Every structure is written in structure tokens, then in C-alpha cells.
Amino acid sequence: DGGITQSPKYLFRKEGQNVTLSCEQNLNHDAMYWYRQDPGQGLRLIYYSQIVNDFQKGDIAEGYSVSREKKESFPLTVTSAQKNPTAFYLCASRKGMDSPLHFGNGTRLTVT
Amino acid sequence: GDSVTQMEGPVTLSEEAFLTINCTYTATGYPSLFWYVQYPGEGLQLLLKATKADDKGSNKGFEATYRKETTSFHLEKGSVQVSDSAVYFCALSDRGSQGNLIFGKGTKLSVKP
């Protein structure tokens, strides 16, 4: 079955360390997205990519970086510059602009 | 810019009660509208969508009608079940920003037996 895989489900890091969250999809979707979810704040867009080797900043890109070297993969790096990295991170993809988003099951990152 | 406002929760209902979750939007164009559902510890799943005015989206007993005159897309279900307990998100597709989705803050629904 096609879908989006995020790993790991839970991630713990010490403050000051960079950490990379994995997102892989086998849906043959062109566009991929990273969202951050905090209690009571809904979803906020971090980065998105419409095509391989191209990506754009979303609303809260500071302290994050991404790459899109393959269509299937869109890893997110949370750098030490991100002030409040502890959150639930969701990866999503879709075929085209008017298509619905498909989400992975998320990675819960805790930084202490 | 475009935005979505949905009623704050949490909403607590008894099984078989009628559900309404209000959602209104602000948009310069004619966005597509969506309802997503998130079960505990999971990502979001598309529940239903509508792409133009007066369209009605429906799925699993849930319905929502795209009302351009009131800029609303309220979610309704006639008889909720315990298994409907989840967080519900209203969203619009922002055509001015490459179709990126803008989400409301979510409404948590708890259904008691």
C-alpha cells in the first residue's frame, strides 16, 4: 500500500544538537510539505517542495533546513538555531495543487 | 491574507448527539475547502472536501456545505459515535500561495458513551 513514512515516531535530543527527521513517500507525489503542530496552534508550514531539487520557505522556516534530492524523500533538519524545537512534526505530500494532502503519522521531537 | 477560523473546543457530546463544528474563512479568491481529522498519536486524514460554492462534501456520515455568501464550511453529523472522538481541522487551499493549505487551530471532540 502506498503512503508516507515518518521515522522515528519519538525522538529525543539534547539542546544544541542538530537532528534530522525522515520522510519518505511512495505515492509518486510531486509536492511534499513539513508542518509543525503545537497544542492549540493548529498546523504551521515550515518548508515545502513542489519538485525535486527545489523547495521554499513556509511561515516558520527559521531554524530549519530541508533537502529534496529524490522525489520520494524530504528530510527535515532541526538545527540548534531553532529556539523552541520540541513539537510534533508532520510530513505531507500531494499530487497537485488542488489535490488533498496525505499525511504521515508524525514524529514527536523532545529537546531537553 | 487568507485565514480560517473554527470554533474552539473542546466539545463534549454524548453518543448519538448531533454535532456541529463551525468554520468560517477569509479568502480573496475561490478556495477549495477541506475538513481533516486527527486521531490520537496520528497524522491528519482527509474527511471531506468541497471545491466550489454550494458543493456539499460528505463522508462517514459527516457533511459540510461550501457557503460563499456566509464564507462558511460548517461540519455536521447527525449521530456521533465514541469512535468519532478526535481533533477536527478546517482548511482552505490558498490559490495565491501555490495552493498551500491554511489550517484552522483544530477542535477537539470527545464523545461519551
**What average pLDDT score do residues A70-76 get?**
97
Q: Looking at CA atoms only, how far is residue B104 from chain A in angstroms?
A: 6
Q: How confident is the model at residue A1 (pLDDT cuts 50, 70, 90)?
A: low
The answer, yes or no, to whether residue A65 has pLDDT greater than 70, is yes
The answer, yes or no, to whether residue A86 has pLDDT greater than 70, is yes
**What average pLDDT score do residues B75-102 get?**
90
Q: Which chain A residues are closer than 8 Å to B93 by Cβ?
A: 97-98
Mean pLDDT of chain B: 93
CB contact under 8 A, B106 and A42: yes
Mutate to test the interface with A, among B42, B103, B107 (most CBs of A within 10 A): B103
CB contact under 8 A, A101 and B44: yes
Per-residue confidence (pLDDT) for residue A96, from 0 to 100:
83
Q: Residue A88 has which C-alpha cell?
A: 510534533
Q: Which chain B residues are closer than 8 Å to A56 by Cβ?
A: 98
**What average pLDDT score do residues A87-105 get?**
91
**What average pLDDT score do residues B46-58 get?**
95
Tell me which long-range contacts A75-78 makes (C-beta under 8 A, separation of at least 24). Answer: A75/A20, A75/A21, A75/A22, A75/A23, A76/A20, A76/A21, A76/A23, A76/A34, A76/A46, A76/A47, A77/A18, A77/A19, A77/A20, A77/A21, A78/A18, A78/A19, A78/A20, A78/A21, A78/A109, A78/A111
Among chain A residues, CA nearest to B105: A42
**What average pLDDT score do residues A84-109 get?**
92
How does strand A64-66 pair with strand A76-78? antiparallel
